Structure 1
């Protein structure tokens, strides 16, 4: 069996501002650093064999805080990089809605049908992230793997592994620095924990972010 502890990065200032980040390498905010430290503390007594992260610093730094408590060096996997929002990156959600009203509406109603202008679609993300998870399941039998990624990445892989289809994207919530636990054994994926946040001091954040 392979156990994957899948986390989302801590908060960034763009998260709070409602700007679409995508593959822009935005750093953790002061609150995001505290969240990363709390996530690391929450995982310190869990056996972890290896740590893998998106190369973007907000995920890498969140992962590093946890990995250090286990004496691990974080491996980078480009396939875990956040969705490319193309021309939407760096723009506030309200401005995107004004500039691209039809695409923005479709993104929030049928996200599987949206091709980001000069960016990716969710199917692009699904293919690369599923390839990564299939590789982890094959290579790391008997291990517990910490994986740090992003909102869209986490939502897409959860939808895909459990047969929901990426059209159910918005039915999955991923708070900053949340913890998910997935297990793979004998060809079957099992969802053990999703969007867990008690290590951050609350069960339900009540926060809705406008940007990914």
Structure 2
């Protein structure tokens, strides 16, 4: 069983450095173009089914790919981005001023952060994403599944599948519309491809987004 795990295309909040979390932000014009380039790159790759976060930025990115394969897109709430609590909709610089201790901890020891005012921790994200992936592995043996999610979700599940705890979160990079290939065989997951962006015209990007 294979998972083609992708991140959504760019949004205007990505450009601004504004924390999105579970806010349902749309793709920017460049994000739509990125999604179409991704879809074209995956046109000849056999895909059996498509599953997406219900947030429109991931769903639309997945839809571009699914349309070229004549497939529907199922949604899974467990793939929704981390709930940033009261940080959602706020610029990274403003969060750093209002929550200096928590913001610094998020970028140095993210596994210790519980997002304020009802937000999630990375452990919360890891648990729900892992439950989803365990279900996919059990249900879709021999299939190739396209999964469209988000920066924090992708980082958390990749760390988990590699046996890394959430202290390694920032050691994984996920660019907009990147492709990761994960294989499940004999009870073991392995990473075959990580953060591929060749469909965008470069081997790797120098882009560092602030709203993460």
Q: What does the per-residue CA deviation read over 1:99-156, in whole Å, with 9 as the maximum and x for residues that have no partner?
A: 0000000000000000000200000000000000000000000100000000000000
- Residue 105 (1) aligns with residue 104 (2): yes
CA RMSD of aligned residues (A): 0.4
Q: Which runs of 5+ in 1 are unaligned?
A: none
TM-score normalised by length of structure 1: 0.99
TM-score (norm 2): 0.99
Q: CA deviation at 1:164?
A: 1.3
- The CA deviation string for residues 146-188 of structure 1, in whole angstroms up to 9 with x for no partner, is 0000000000000000011111000000000000000001101
* Distance of 1:120 and 1:165 partners within structure 2: 16
Secondary structure, aligned partner of 1:129: helix
Aligned pairs for 1:111-130 within 5 A: 111-118=110-117, 119-130=119-130
Structure-1 residue corresponding to 2:40: 41
Q: CA shift at 1:205, angstroms?
A: 1.1
Count of aligned residue pairs for this structure pair: 211
In structure 1, C-alpha distance between the alignment counterparts of 2:190 and 2:115, rounded to whole Å: 31
Gaps of 5+ in 2: none
- Give the SS at the match of 1:176: coil
What is the CA–CA distance in structure 2 between the aligned matches of 1:79 and 1:35, rounded to whole Å?
A: 24
SS at match of 2:181: strand
